[in-house]
Amino acid sequence: MANLDIKLKVDASGLSCPLPILKATQGIKTVESGELVEVIATDPGSVKDFDAWAKATGNALVEQDSADGKFRFVLRRK
Amino acid sequence: MDETVSIVLFSGTDDKLQAASVLAAGAAALGKPVRILLQYWALDAFRADRISADHGLCPEAGEAGRAAVDAASKAGVADWADNLRTAKEVGDVEVQACSLSMDVLKLKQSDLDSLVDGVQGVASFYINAGEGQIIFI
């Protein structure tokens, strides 16, 4: 895993749909264009949701992985 | 393509309000403008003095449904009013009260929770909806 310069971490663990993408949307508005936000979620639906969210909003999904029932997303603000 | 998602929210039970809040919040997170028109029992649920009350579930929920929903709220599923508040913070979400329903229920805007932005007639609802999708709940 590359050593990324994460500006903001958003913990959406335990939250159900649509809170992970809502919290991510809230978070990404607080960083500058080009900066990275990391989101941790436990909602399995968030995997497809972040893909759709990136396509719809134009923010990039830079990395996505999962371990121990947690899903991690790294988003770059457009 | 018109991206606006318009939701006619008629039902006032917590499960249907929850479903509508999820659709609204999801669309807001995707950057789509969301327009919600509150009619009848949904409007009643937005009264400032009742918005946090238990609004029950629709009849098909039954006892097992009630138990499942209670367990979900304990597990941290957000309340529908909180979903809408967050959606309004992150996106372009407007909640309007149907003017006919206001008359029927004898409500003034000051009776309603601050989530409600104003009172609207059906013509202005259709104009705002444009060519976008309209969802009825």
Q: Is A17 a catalytic residue?
A: yes
pLDDT in tens, B85-98: 999 999 999 999 99
- The CATH number for B42's domain is 3.40.1260.10
Is the predicted pLDDT of residue A1 greater than 80, yes or no?
no
What domain range includes position B113? 5-136
Asked if the ipTM is above 0.95, the reply is no
- Residue B28: list chain A partners with CB under 8 A: 22, 25
Residue B76 — pLDDT band, cuts 50, 70, 90?
A: confident
Both tokens assigned to B78? 């957000």
- Out of A16, A24, A56, the one facing B31 most closely (by C-beta) is A56
**Could you give the CA distance from residue B76 to residue A12 in angstroms, rounded to a whole number?**
11
Domains of chain A: 6-76 (3.30.110.40)
Say what the pLDDT of residue B137 is.
98
Q: How far is CA B98 from CA A57, B25, B60, B73, B137, in A?
A: 31, 21, 27, 29, 14
Q: How many domains does chain B have?
A: 1
Mean pLDDT of B106-127: 96
Rounded to two decimals, what is the model's pTM? 0.90
Say what the pLDDT of residue B77 is.
81
